[in-house]
Amino acid sequence: MKIGKLSETVLKRSVFKIIRHRRDEVLMRPGVGLDCAQLQFEPDDVIVMSTDPITGAVHDIGKLAVNITANDIASNGAEPVGIMLTVLLPPKISQLKFKNMMQEMEYECAALNIEILGGHTEVTNAVTKPLISVTGVGKIRKDKRLKPSDIKPGYDIVMTKYAGLEGTAIIAKTMEDELLEKYPKELIENAKNLMSGISVVKDSLTAMKGNVVFMHDITEGGVFGACWEVAEAAGLGLKVDLRKIPVKQETIEICDFFDINPYMLISSGCMLMVAPNGNRLVEVLNEEGIPAQVIGSFTDNNDKIVINQDETRYLEPPASDELYKVMGAGQA
Tens-place pLDDT, residues 92-134? 999 999 999 999 999 999 999 999 999 999 999 999 999 999 9
Q: Give the H/E segment covering residue 292.
A: strand 292-299
Handedness of CA 319, 203, 144, 235 (dihedral sign): negative
What's 122's domain CATH number?
3.30.1330.10
**How far, rounded to the nearest angstrom, does the alpha carbon of residue 188 sit from its chain's CA centroid?**
22
Task: Please tell me the predicted confidence (pLDDT) of residue 35.
Answer: 62
Secondary structure (3-state) at 201: helix
Cα–Cα distance measured from residue 139 to residue 80, given in angstroms and rounded to the nearest whole number: 7
DSSP string spanning 136-199?
Answer: EEEEEEGGG---GGG--TT-EEEEES-TTHHHHHHHHHHTHHHHTTTS-HHHHHHHHGGGGG--
Task: Please tell me the predicted confidence (pLDDT) of residue 45.
Answer: 87
Question: What is the average per-residue pLDDT within 232-261?
Answer: 97
Same domain, residue pair 103 and 167: no
Please, are residues 135 and 49 in contact by the beta-carbon 8 Å criterion?
yes
Of the candidates 295, 291, 289, the one whose C-alpha atom is nearest the C-alpha of residue 308 is: 295
Range of the domain at 27: 4-144
3-state secondary structure 7-49: CHHHHHHHHHCCCCCCCCCEEECCECCECCCEECCCCCEEEEE
Cα–Cα distance measured from residue 59 to residue 166, given in angstroms and rounded to the nearest whole number: 12
Q: What is the DSSP letter of 244?
A: G
Of the candidates 250, 259, 237, the one whose C-alpha atom is nearest the C-alpha of residue 303 is: 237
Which residues are bridge partners to 34 per DSSP? 31
Same domain, residue pair 180 and 129: no
Please, are residues 307 and 239 in contact by the beta-carbon 8 Å criterion?
yes
Split into its structural domains, the chain has a count of 2
**pLDDT, tens digit (0-9, with 9 covering 90-100), for 139-195:** 999 889 899 999 999 999 999 999 999 999 999 999 999 999 999 999 999 999 999
Check pLDDT > 50 for residue 26. yes
Same domain, residue pair 135 and 161: no
Domain membership of residue 332 (yes or no) is: no
Last residue of a domain, one of 81, 109, 144: 144
Give me the amino acid identity at 82. Answer: G
What's 217's domain CATH number?
3.90.650.10
Same domain, residue pair 294 and 154: yes
Last residue of a domain, one of 144, 168, 196: 144
